[in-house]
Every structure is written in C-alpha cells, then in structure tokens.
Chains A and B, each alone.
Chain A
Amino acid sequence: MYIYDEIDQRIVDDRVAQFRDQTSRFLAGSLSEDDFRPLRLQNGLYIQRFAPMLRVAIPYGLLASRQLRALAYIARKWDRGYAHFSTRQNIQYNWPKLEDVPDILEKLASVQMHAIQTSGNCIRNTTVDHFAGVAPDEIVDPLVWCEIIRQWSAFHPEFAFLPRKFKIAVSGAETDRAAIQVHDIGLQAQYDDKGNIGFRVYVGGGLGRTPIIGTVIREFLPWQHLLTYLDAVLRVYNRYGRRDNKYKARIKILVKETKPEVFRAQVEAEWAHLKDGPATLIEEEVERITKRFTRPAYQKLDKLASGYVLALGRDKAFASWARRNVQAHKVAGYAAVTLSLKKTGVAPGDMTDAQMEAVADLADRYSFGELRVSHEQNLILADVRQSDLFELWQQARELGLATPNIGLLTNIIACPGGDFCSLANAKSLPVADAITRRFDDLDYLYDIGELDLNISGCMNSCGHHHVGHIGVLGVDKQGAEFYQISIGGAQGNKAALGKVLGPSVSQAEVPGVVEKLIDLYIERRDSAEERFIDVVQRIGIEPFKEHVYGGHHKKPAGRGEQLAAA
C-alpha cells in the first residue's frame, strides 16, 4: 500500500470540505442543479434511477484491510448493507442519500480513500494489472508509476474539464492483464537495452460505441519524461478533442479523425516545449514514492510447500479451486488467490458488509493485510503462503467466495445494468444470473475451459462486452430490451474486438444462444486445449452463426423451446 504523507492527507481533507460546502450550497439553493451536476460528478456522485450512486476510487485496485472494513461500515451505515465492485477497480454504492455523502467522504478520508475524479470529464482512476508486484512474468513493478500518475492527475488544473472522460491503464508484465490497448492511454512499462525503465505509449484505444484498439505513439518513453509527455497528450486532446457531440468526444475519435501519425506529430510538437521542464520526474521522487509503499515481509520458503501438494492430491474440490483460483507468485512458496465474487445467484461484483469484513480478516490472517480488486470484479489476496492455501480455501468456501470459476464461463463480467443504471438499455444482472444457472455443472464448466463472457447493459460498455470471447450487449428495440451477441473478442496482448453474430435476441433466449455457441465449440475443437476463442479465430464466426440462427439468419433456432425453458 502507498501510505499518505501529511500533504496527501491534507489534499483529500480539503476535498471533503470543498464538497461539503458545495453540497450545502446546492441544498440551500444557491448552487444550481445544472452547475452542481458536473461538480458532484467529479466526486463520483451520480443521480441514478432510484437514488444517488457514489463511486469510490480504489487507486489501481489496491486495498488495505482497514480500508475494506471502512467500506463495509459505509455500506452498513449509509447504504443497504452491500456494495458493487466495478470493472474499473472501483466500488459503487447504490443507495446513499445526497446529504450523507460529505460524511461518507470524511469516513473515506480517515482511511486514506476518496472519490476524486471517479466520474465526469476528467482523468479517472488509473488501473493496473491486478497481479502487479507479484506476477512471475512481471518486467517492471508498475505500482510506483501508478501512484505518480495518481498524484499528477488529482486536481490537475488544466485538465479538470476535458471533452470527455479519460482513462489510463498501466501494465508492467509480459501478459497484459490491464487491457492497456483499450484505454485512452495505455502504458507498457519495460526496460531498454541499457536497463533504463520506460514506457511504450498507446493512445486512443477504447470500447463504448466506437470500439478501437489503441495506436502506439511512442515505442519507448524514458520514465523521466512520463508526466511531461502525458501533459502534452492531454493538452492536444483538451484543445482539439470534439466537444460538439459527446459520442465523438473521446480521444480515440480525435486520433482517428486527425490520423494517428498527425496526432503523434501534434503531441511531439507540444512535448518539445514541455520536455525537460519542471514536471520532469526526478530520482528522489521515484525513490520517495517507492519507500512510501509498504511491502510484504516475505519469509524464505521452499518453492513448493509439501502440505499444499498433499492436499491437492487428497481433496478434489480443493484441487479444482487451486487450478482456477490460485495463481503463481514470483516469490518462492507464495501464491496469489482470487476470491470469486461470481457465485450463482449473486450479482457479479456485489458484496455484503459482512463478507467485506470477513475478507478483511482473511487478508490480515493470510495476506499481509492487503488485497486487490480486479477489473474482472473479483478480489485477490496476492501474497498467501502455499501452506495456508487449504485453510484459506475452507474459510473462503464458507463465505461463498470460493467458486472455482476464474477464467471460466461463469466468471462473468457485468455492469449493474438496467436494474440500477439510468443509462442502460437493458438489464445485465438477470442475464448473468440465467447464464450462470444454465452452466452450474462444474464438470461441464471445466470441460468448456477458459472463456470470458462479458455483459454490458448499453453501448457505454462498462461490462467490456467488446473484448469478451462472448459479448452480450443490451439494446433497445422499440422500447423492448434485447441482446446483441458477439464472439471473438479478446483482452490482453492479443486484444481484439468481437464481431456481432446476428440479430439481437430476447432476454430469455440468451442462455440458449450461449449454449449453442458452446455446443458448436465442443464439437469443432481439435482438443481440450483449444479454447473457445482459438476455435473462433480458426474457423471464423460463420459456422457459429449458422448453428445459432439456422440457415436463414433470422430467428435463433429452437426459440420456442428456450422460451418454454425460461
């Protein structure tokens, strides 16, 4: 964890006081609704379908157990006893009262947390690989750079009112687990041949209405220039990004319309003025931030704990959980554990106050009091001794957090959808639930193997449907909720956007369509090792289309039967 110093704390406290003042001026009528809206949004506060929604930042997904306890306290005291982890490594409360929000922020500030820039047209929470610092394939630990970016982006005076929201993601590993190619800016931390740290800079990626894979505008940006270069990119965007149409206001449209090479030249021209200026990073600062991160005091352990190996052989259920939910760690004898928030019957990413407190206890007991939130809406205990895994599994199972489905079909990413969100065209959660129930047989799930299924309730793509191997998108069809299915999307190094399968289908039909896709996959795969996405890439989407819609691409085959089943 990064530990605030006195100044970091003061800035967050100042924000609480500022928002308290804005809220009271709004409630007293001296700040208009129109003027208050953009101000409250910059503090993560939406007015939603039923109540305000407050989005709290979990900077780069890192959370201390005492912070999780504070989040549980907030859920209990000011909400309805639960909260929702989003795909942005944030947490959302769906039922707070507007007049309580200043008190909630004060409680957050007391544990070094905030809701700064979690919404609005500004630089949002920076996201990162959820295995940062522990992944065996890591080249550069990205956390220090994330904190440097957090400080730079917090209340940046020039970029507080951009054309549209702006999201930065950082990865420091060989495998990209932070989806950096579909962010406004993606940074790949790496070393040059002299051993200096720098970043490959992607710009203009994004999902939403116009999904685009980012363009590399700089192969290697030495770390000293990180902030001046970001300033240059943001300034070009702030000045020239479109403000006439909010659907064309993201930086991806600017990059596309000006042409990536022209955009790059504009950034370079701007950067020529800023480069080597006062915002140029210095070693002292990198060192200072590095030292303010607490690091686990790892023990010297054997590479493989014998008790762990024995338990794997003895207990089949434990072994299947370990296979899916336990990831390798760069330190011998340790492992990273994913606690699944995707249990059948529970909305993806939702967690009760009691579960939060119990997980905080687990983090204290087994993982140095820290945890992470993944953009797949799960929680991760990143530093667990292998010898503790069996005990931890037993306890996680009692809490309903040990569903062994990480990477599998039922590890569904889903936005809150039409049940909560006023932007949504259609509901997401009942669809996720219906699919999860359809594939509740674990053996079958294992046989299907790795599969990302992502659901968004609308074009804003909070559920990342474009990069799901199977993507489900809620659409509005003359006032009725329908779902468009796409396949072939992928996240990571080989990021790809899914292709639409055919006409949209009703809510009741979605699980049947997914089942048909899976049937064809099982039939056509050349071995159990060939994943769903591999088969789609090999044979294309046509055979899947045929299989789902029959020859005539109209209605999904077996419609009547599926409706009856629903």
Chain B
Amino acid sequence: MAGIIKNRQVAANNWQLLKAGADKSLPAVPEGDVIVPLAQWLAQKDALLARKGRLGVWLANTDDPAVIAGDLNHFDLVAVDFPHFTDGRGSSIARLLRERYGWTGELRAIGDVIRDVVFYLSRCGFDAFDLKAGEDAKAALSAFGDFSEAYQTSVERPQPLFRRRAATAQAAAAK
C-alpha cells in the first residue's frame, strides 16, 4: 500500500477507505481497519461498533462536523475529504473538529491533497496526509518547512505571533 504522511513522517497506510456507490448505496464493510463515510456511520452504528478492527469515519466537504461531535469517542481516526485542493471547506471542518469538538486522535486529509497545501492543512489540525496519486510522500515532508513563522492563531500553535511577540518583549523587560 502507498505510504502516507503521519506525524511528519512517511508511514504505512493500514486503513481501507470505503466509499458509497454511484447510487449512494453503502459499501460492504471488509475486515480490518476501515474508514467509512459519514452516512454509513449514521446508518450502521451498532454493526460498525460490534465488528473487530479499528473504525474511522470520513467527512465530505459538505458534511457538518457537529453531527459526529458526540460520537468522537468511538473513532480511531477521522478523515476529511478534499475533492479538489482549492476547496477550503475541509480546513474549517478540521479546525472545528480540533478546536470546538475536542478531537485529539488522528485527523487525516484525503482526496486531492498535494504537497503545496500540507503546510496550511497542518496548521488547521491535520496530522496525517494521504496524498493524491503521483505525489511523493517523502519529498512532500519538506512542505512542513515552507514557512518558518506564521502570524495567525492555529491548531498547532494557538497563540498568534503577536501574543508570542508580546510575551517575549515582557520577558525581556523583566530581566
């Protein structure tokens, strides 16, 4: 299986990503670790919880993360799909999962994920990246260093630059 990026390292991907059929029919659930679409989780909660193997759920860019806010303790992984990397909805979903609903487990970006957005996505709370076909996961690791600083508050570093600057200035003044 193709490698993914996890915690800023190339890692093996042991998860199977399940998708609904073209007619929106829910897929059969194989053995092993699976990431199911939100609709499947909502429809088959009990069966999914009864099976062996780890369970993940993935959200589409149009899904509201509030729907799974109360279910997060059942998951080993949450993924957010990017149908195209220029669709920024997944970034807001990620921040909400991390900052509002308290998800601390693996948060994986899936779909049209290219190295050039890894820095942004990482700041929005993604710690795993299943890059699109053709992207070199190892080469993409350098993306974490695209910028050495950032102005805004982020999941990775909730204190914005201006607060860190002020704290440094205060510490210097106290000396």
Chain A interface (Cβ within 8 Å of chain B)?
7, 10-11, 14-15, 18, 22, 31, 35, 38-39, 121, 151-152, 154-162, 235, 238-239, 243, 273, 277-279, 281-282, 284-285, 288
Contact = CB atoms under 8 A, between A and B. Distances in A.
Contacts of A35: 85, 114, 116
Contacts of B162: 151, 281-282, 284-285, 288
Given A161-B85, A161-B91, A273-B100, A156 B152 contact: yes
B166 A285 contact: yes
Shortest 5 CB-CB contacts between residues of A and residues of B = A161-B88, A157-B123, A285-B162, A284-B166, A157-B120
Interface of B: 85-89, 91-93, 95, 100, 114, 116-117, 119-121, 123-124, 146-154, 158-163, 165-166, 169
A279 B160 contact: yes
A453 B82 CA distance: 44
B166 A282 contact: yes
Contacts of B151: 11, 151-152, 154-155
B138 to A, nearest CB: 14
Nearest to A148: B162
A7 B149 contact: yes
B100 A160 contact: no
A458 B161 CA distance: 41
14 contacts: A10-B148, A14-B146, A155-B147, A158-B91, A160-B88, A161-B86, A162-B88, A238-B91, A238-B92, A273-B100, A278-B160, A279-B152, A279-B153, A284-B166
Contacts of A238: 88-89, 91-92
Given A155-B151, A158-B124, A279-B153, A239 B89 contact: yes
A214 B167 CA distance: 38
B151 to A, nearest CB: 4
A14 B147 contact: yes
A238 B154 CA distance: 16
Given A39-B116, A151-B161, A158-B88, 4 more contacts: A14-B149, A35-B114, A161-B88, A238-B91
Nearest to B116: A39
A162 B120 CA distance: 13
Given A278-B163, A282-B162, A285-B166, A160 B149 contact: no
Contact of A235 (B86, B92, B116, B166): B92
Contacts of B88: 158-162, 238
Given A10-B149, A278-B159, A282-B163, A157 B86 contact: no
Contacts of B152: 152, 155-157, 279
Contacts of A10: 148-149
Contact of A157 (B148, B150, B169): B150
Q: Which of A10, A35, A39, A277 has the most CB of B within 10 A?
A: A35
A160 B120 CA distance: 8
Nearest to B61: A243
A154 B89 CA distance: 18
Contact of A284 (B150, B160, B169): B169
A277 B152 CA distance: 12
Nearest to B122: A157
A7 B147 CA distance: 11
A281 B86 CA distance: 30
Contacts of B149: 7, 10-11, 14
B82 to A, nearest CB: 9
Contacts of A284: 162, 166, 169
Contacts of B163: 278, 282, 285
Contacts of B166: 282, 284-285, 288
Given A151-B151, A282-B163, A157 B146 contact: no
Q: Identify which of A160, A273, A284 gathers the most chain B CB atoms within 10 Å of its CB.
A: A160
Contacts of A157: 91, 119-121, 123-124, 150, 152, 154
Q: Identify which of A161, A273, A279 gathers the most chain B CB atoms within 10 Å of its CB.
A: A161
A11 B85 contact: no
B19 to A, nearest CB: 21
A285 B114 CA distance: 35
A360 to B, nearest CB: 30
A344 B169 CA distance: 54
B91 to A, nearest CB: 5
B116 A277 contact: no
Contacts of B124: 157-158
B153 A277 contact: yes
A284 B168 CA distance: 12
A351 to B, nearest CB: 32
B92 A14 contact: no
Contacts of B91: 157-161, 238
A384 to B, nearest CB: 34
B92 A239 contact: yes
A243 B87 contact: yes
